[in-house]
Amino acid sequence: MIDHEHIRKLSPADGDIFLLPADSPYDLARQLGEAIAIAKPGVKVMVMCGDVRKLDVAAMNAAGWYRA
């Protein structure tokens, strides 16, 4: 369940990454992605569970995030 105390207005733009706590259920991340797609059709965002700073280069490459 989403804690309503932590809800803020979102204005998603292409390339945005929405980070949820690592223990968030996959279904919650999927629902957030679907809600964003309904609220702003065509926007390209990523919804992730966990700390993106903990990804190694191999994981980023696998996700299509190539380091320069």
pLDDT of residue 67: 61
Residue 14 resides in a domain? yes
Q: Is residue 68 over pLDDT 60?
A: no
Q: Tell whether 67 is covered by a domain.
A: no
In the numeric block, which tokens belong to residue 65? 């995030």
Looking at the 3D structure of the chain, how many domains does it have?
A: 1
Question: Average of pLDDT values for 32-46?
Answer: 92
5-22 confidence digits (pLDDT tens): 777 777 899 988 888 998
Structural domain contains residue 19: yes
| Token pair of 63 as six digits | 């996700």
pTM: 0.67
How far apart (Å, rounded) are the C-alpha atoms in residues 2 and 27?
Answer: 12
Residue 29 lies in a domain: yes
Torsion of CA 39, 44, 28, 32, to 10 degrees: -10
* Token pair recorded at residue 40: 């702003």
C-alpha 1/C-alpha 23 separation (Å) is 12
pLDDT of 1 reads 63
Range of the domain at 43: 4-62
